[in-house]
Chains A and B, each alone.
Chain A
């Protein structure tokens, strides 16, 4: 999988590269408008992360060019502006998603996975790990061909873990994903432990090949046994 990061801020770019390499992606970078235009003209990418505020040109122009080339559907816009206008413009130009800075690495992973899955969709939208079959469209989980009932929140939590396999998910990132970014009372995140406990129990009872590990009390990580 080949991913292009178009981002002018060096530190953020390097962090994203480091994180995406952990997911075994081939990562290329463009630090400015000119580089970006050159790269998208020359190569094919499975996913493009596009910062729309570049010093030497608008990311929206790059998006228009991609649209002309019919390549805009695998673009995720990264913007410091949570502006509805920009969002609508971007999505109108065919971008797949719009992510506002600052974001969690887990969130970015989830969005990229969604883009890649849609791109390579061969009739089914499922994640298969070990003896698990997780169907995102049908919202079902099968372990050893046995259906495991998950409530709405448990399904969302597990979905987030599965697209972030082996990666740390902080409690805040999880809460924001499942309960929306309206969540901002950090002191009450203890209740997440409660949710995880229920999920772990269900996974254990169905002898799933995965487990959710605690990481330094700050977050969790899904690992394959």
Chain B
């Protein structure tokens, strides 16, 4: 839920309670005030009537309310003494409303010329249900107006106030440690957002340092391994040239050389991966994938012939792309090599140049590869393979570097790899 909406909900709840309690209190206060005022009027009326009755004795004969708002009955002294001045709410029939309506009534008694009288004065009362209803709707209106104004205030003011926050958030969302160089820089005077910016930039800086030192580490470690590997290989090669070497010792040395060479290849691939990730291939040249692939296939022909593999090339279009030539070579030759070495004896390879993609398929043993593992580093399908398990990971790294798609499909007992060159295709 958005911050704007959440604050709106909290504020609305708060207003609901505050206004609710306030309106109840206000209602009772108002009612009291009205009663007070009416009671004062009744008292005044009573005094006026008593005063008037001394002048006009016909008033004393008014024993029914009729059109007037009072009635007077003579009572005995004993009764009159018992009558206390009292204000009451009561119901009385009203002709105009044709219903019983609430009225305020004052019971009292007075003495006139040694006669005792009882007097009742009435005054129409505000209709309570009407008052409640009117008040309720005013309160609801007030509430709606308040909530409405909060929405407007939220949308206009808060949105403006929170803009720096959303800017920072957007930058963080799209921040790439390997691509963005500039720290987050927003224009705001709000302390909290400045703090947030500072904290984000500190975090980015730390991550960048960790990221680059990790990248640097792989590269440095690989470089440091090159010299010892050179010494081992060269010393063993010299040792193999010794005159008096026993056959089995020579075999052992040969096996060690093989292992060291595997280690060398592994190191080279790791170094290559690190270099791709460290963006050490800034060259951009126009490369014809058709030409390159055919050269590579030509170079590997001996391998293919040796395994009786037939290579078919289908050139539906010319793929010219803007890419670092050495990376293009590695990408295509890894795919071709893969297709040759993981082929069946007497199998076939189909290479297709499509409108914006390159596809290479090779015969399989009816078993599809596990798609999610194919491009994972050091993943090998068979333990017998002498490969480094990095060939396809390197392909993936190269494709990622240029934002190209590389995918695997198993179709008609063929392993098919497709590279989508759309992003770097040259239209010239």
A interface residues, Cβ below 8 angstroms from B: 9, 11-12, 15-16, 18-19, 22, 80-84, 100-106, 153, 167-168, 170, 172-173, 179-188, 190-191, 194-195, 215-219
Contact = CB atoms under 8 A, between A and B. Distances in A.
A102 B329 contact: no
9 contacts: A9-B231, A15-B235, A80-B224, A80-B230, A81-B226, A102-B233, A103-B234, A170-B254, A216-B251
Contact of A218 (B229, B254, B329, B330): B254
A188 B341 contact: yes
Nearest to A18: B238
A110 to B, nearest CB: 14
Given A191-B303, A217-B251, A104 B233 contact: yes
B240 interface: yes
Nearest to B391: A184
B230 A102 contact: yes
Given A11-B231, A15-B235, A182-B329, 14 more contacts: A9-B227, A80-B230, A101-B229, A101-B230, A102-B234, A103-B234, A104-B237, A167-B241, A168-B240, A184-B387, A186-B261, A186-B262, A216-B253, A218-B240
Given A22-B241, A217-B251, A12 B231 contact: yes
B226 A100 contact: yes
Top-8 shortest CB links A-B: A218-B254, A102-B230, A191-B306, A216-B250, A187-B386, A80-B226, A101-B230, A184-B265
B258 interface: yes
Interface in B202-259: 223-224, 226-227, 229-235, 237-238, 240-241, 245, 247, 250-251, 253-254, 257-258
A216 B238 contact: no
A61 B299 CA distance: 38
Given A187-B385, A216-B250, A102 B229 contact: yes
Give the interface SS of chain B, mostly helix, strand, loop or mixed: helix
Interface in B255-313: 257-258, 261-262, 264-265, 268-269, 271, 280, 299-300, 302-303, 306-307
A102 B257 CA distance: 12
B320 interface: no
A35 to B, nearest CB: 19
A172 B261 contact: yes
B336 to A, nearest CB: 9
B300 A12 contact: no
Contacts of A100: 226
A12 B230 contact: yes
Given A82-B271, A191-B303, A103 B261 contact: no
B300 A185 contact: no
B-side interface size class: 35 or more
A39 to B, nearest CB: 22
Contacts of A168: 237, 240-241
B377 interface: no
Given A186-B386, A218-B254, A15 B238 contact: yes
A172 B302 CA distance: 15
Nearest to A173: B237
Contacts of B254: 170, 216-219
B302 A19 contact: no
B418 interface: no
A185 B306 CA distance: 14
B226 A102 contact: yes
Nearest to A190: B306
B332 to A, nearest CB: 10
A22 B243 CA distance: 13
B302 A195 contact: yes
A194 B261 CA distance: 22
B398 to A, nearest CB: 14
B333 interface: yes
Contacts of A101: 226-227, 229-230
Nearest to A194: B306
A16 B240 contact: no
A186 to B, nearest CB: 4
Contacts of A183: 337
Contact of A180 (B237, B299, B341): B299
Contacts of B426: none
B388 interface: yes
Most buried by A among B226, B234, B245: B234
B309 to A, nearest CB: 11
Given A105-B237, A168-B241, A172-B261, A179 B299 contact: yes
Nearest to B241: A168
A216 B237 CA distance: 12
Contacts of A187: 341, 384-386
